[in-house]
């Protein structure tokens, strides 16, 4: 993980960003951490609990960091590599999920937003109780994480009105998902673990610069 973080930091620094790695120790200083952690830690998941909790808590960490520094936040996963995107704020009044098509579906990895919007997102997560559309038939269990909620908000099934997408939450182009063809040209690329393992490119930090130098 350290080597991947070094690669991540180096790519963003090259294009004018000041990368900051946020940890559990950072988010724990939020005054409502215990409240959010209790709710996130109780949500059903098919994945290891520590992984799913980290998915939830990254949004609280972004809200906390932005408030402490009185600035908007660009939240990038450590396997999102920069190939030319320069620092910018989100569209006024909006939280932008950067994901170019293809694929047509939503994916996470690059989010721009205000501290208020990141905190509002956490409140939305907490309020969203599991229902039948969160049930995984093949496993016989319920599952929720931040991505599953984003999918339901951006691509609701018929009659799915559990949590309408907030007007301020939008999808914008700007980040490609490896290994769709646009990974060769977009200014951000998300090198997800599934695709990298499928291509035999593991651990991913050994292969990213060979796939596409920055």
pLDDT tens digits along 50-95: 999 999 999 999 999 999 999 999 999 999 999 999 999 999 999 9
Query: How confident is the model at residue 15, as a pLDDT?
Result: 98
Confidence tier at 104 by pLDDT (50, 70, 90)? very high
Contacts 24+ apart (CB under 8 A), 22-30: 22/58, 22/61, 22/62, 22/65, 24/57, 26/61, 26/64, 26/65, 27/57, 27/60, 27/61, 27/64, 29/64, 30/60, 30/61, 30/63, 30/64
Torsion, Cα 61 62 68 74, to 10 degrees, reads 150
- With beta carbons less than 8 A apart as the criterion, state whether 135 and 142 touch: yes
The pLDDT-based confidence of 159 (bands split at 50, 70, 90) is confident
Domains of the chain: 2-211 (3.90.550)
pLDDT > 90: what percent of the chain? 96
Task: Judge whether 27 and 102 are in contact, CB under 8 Å.
Answer: no
Nearest residue to 174 via CA among 190, 188, 154, 191: 188
Q: What is the mean pLDDT of residues 37-43?
A: 98
Which residues pair with residue 80 across a beta bridge?
A: 190
Is the pLDDT at 162 greater than 80? The verdict is: no
């Amino acid at each position: 993980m350290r080597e991947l973080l070094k690669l991540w930091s180096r790519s963003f620094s090259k294009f004018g960003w000041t990368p900051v790695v946020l940890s559990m120790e950072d988010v724990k200083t939020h005054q409502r951490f215990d409240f959010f952690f209790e709710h996130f830690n109780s949500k059903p998941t098919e994945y290891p609990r520590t992984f799913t909790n980290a998915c939830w808590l990254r949004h609280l960490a972004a809200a906390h960091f932005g408030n402490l520094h009185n600035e908007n936040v660009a939240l990038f996963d450590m396997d999102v590599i920069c190939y030319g995107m320069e620092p910018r704020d989100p569209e006024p009044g909006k939280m932008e999920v950067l994901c170019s098509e293809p694929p047509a579906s939503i994916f996470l990895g690059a989010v721009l937003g205000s501290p208020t919007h990141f905190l509002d997102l956490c409140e939305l997560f907490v309020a969203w109780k599991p229902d039948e559309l969160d049930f995984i038939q093949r496993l016989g269990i319920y599952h929720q994480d931040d991505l599953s909620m984003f999918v339901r908000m951006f691509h609701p099934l018929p009659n799915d009105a559990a949590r309408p997408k907030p007007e301020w939450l939008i999808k914008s182009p700007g980040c490609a998902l490896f290994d769709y063809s646009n990974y060769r040209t977009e200014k951000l690329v998300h090198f997800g673990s599934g695709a990298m393992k499928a291509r035999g490119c593991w651990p991913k930090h050994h292969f990213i610069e060979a796939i596409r130098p920055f």
